[in-house]
Structure 1
Amino acid sequence: MSSTTGKSALLMMDMQNSIVSRYVQDEAQLLPFQKALQTAHKYQIPVIYVRVMFREGYPEISMHNKMFGGIAQRGGSAIPEDMVQIHESLKPQPQDIIVNKRRVSAFTGSDLEVILRAQQIDTLILSGIATSGVVLSTLREAADKDFILNVLSDACIDGDDEVHQLLIEKVFPMQAEVLTVDAWAESLSK
């Protein structure tokens, strides 16, 4: 394990109600995320929640964006406040940071990199929904920014199990250490 507790941060990405409700069929799926949070807090590793959030009227969304363009076309007000809140079972603690982003990657349209650099964090522990969305996009961008990366394989969820396995087993290991929450927690206790 290449991370050190003084320079690491756990990223809990897209764990907001609107996304959790679409991907999580059973609350037990959130247990690895809860254990990751407990582990980070136990070892005083900063926790940064990243959520997707838009302004009223969606001025950040281009009609050319296949993923978000439909939201803007429907118009109306921004996503209801309760839908952008972090899922109750993963509730942030007062010391945790919440970052708002405007695209799939945790870095795009957010101040995440400013926070990481200010805190001298060089190692990111990635978790989130979806493996093929925010986790993949953030991993690629973070690797290009020279962060040391770890992916918590059981604290990532995707709508397609085959895609999730392909990413976890074949794609992510090229740029990150992939391990379970239990293996990560055990490595910190040594």
Structure 2
Amino acid sequence: MTSTSTSIYLVLDMENDLVHDEGFNGKAAYGEQVRGRGIIAKTRNAIDKARQAGIPIGFVRVGFSPDYRECPPNSPIFSGARKNGIFKLGTWGTQTHPDLGQREEDFDIVKHRVSPFYATSLEAILRARGIRRIYCSGISTNAVVQATVREGHDRDYEIIVLEDCCCAPSVEEHENAVQGLKRFCTMSSSSDVVFE
């Protein structure tokens, strides 16, 4: 990768178990919001724009070993993973949605918690590349997007959220999360964003 950009676009948790029509959550509330808001097509549009601008792409995925050794047993958000056999690394469910066009040169950041900064390679990548600005979007607004914005802000990164490429299990949860994040980031959209 030869980009000298000081920006990166992080595509957050856009994996099959969460967003694909055939995925575990794609058949439930997340899937309804993803389809209703046109999240896949809008995210692909944003990825293509970022590539044209020479901005590196990082795909962040949540996943656990087949025996779920990293999965916290008492977590309200992750306890269902083991029970339902989802978020298992090396399976179709933890692969990025195929329509997003992930490439070999893109960064692939695997996480075991909500935050993409916790116990992952993300911070090392950002520092090594001299990144100062993070564009981000993904599922869900009130989990990984919120964690990225708040933690990125406190690490002195400029954060731009592509709001139309995000959703939560309900419209209300998404809107509440967006309102809470506006103090910490800039809100944009896949059509308005200028990657630089």
TM-score, with structure 1 as normaliser: 0.87
Q: Does 1:46 align with 2:56?
A: yes
Distance in 2 (CA, whole Å) between partners of 1:152 and 1:174 is: 15
| Counterpart amino acid of residue 19 in structure 1 | L
- Residues 1:81 and 1:148: Cα distance change in structure 2 (over 3 Å): same
Matched AA of 2:78: F
Over the matched positions of the two proteins, sequence identity in percent amounts to 30
Could you tell me which amino acid in structure 1 is paired with residue 124 of structure 2? V
CA distance in 2, matches of 1:120, 1:43: 17
Question: 1:29 offset after TM fit, Å?
Answer: 3.0
Q: Please report the RMSD computed on the Cα atoms of aligned residues, expressed in angstroms.
A: 2.2
Runs of 4+ aligned residues of structure 1 deviating over 3 Å after TM superposition are 72-80
TM-superposition CA deviations, 1:102-157 (whole Å, max 9, x none)? 11111123111111110110110010001011101111111111111100010111
The residue that corresponds to 2:12 in the other structure is 13
Gaps of 5+ in 1: none
Deviates more, 1:102-111 or 1:74-83: 74-83
Which residue of 2 is the match for residue 146 of structure 1? Answer: 156
Map residues 105-144 of structure 1 onto 2, 5 A cutoff. 105-144=115-154
Q: Does 1:87 align with 2:86?
A: no
TM-score w.r.t. the length of structure 2 is 0.85
Count of aligned positions: 182
Structure 2 residue 191 is matched with structure 1 residue 182: yes
Q: Which runs of 5+ in 2 are unaligned?
A: none
Structure 1 residues 88, 75: CA separation in 2 closer, same or farther (over 3 Å shift)? closer
Q: In the superposition, relative to structure 1, how do residues 175 and 34 fare at CA in structure 2: closer, same or farther (>3 Å)?
A: same
State the distance in 2 between where 1:103 and 1:29 align: 23
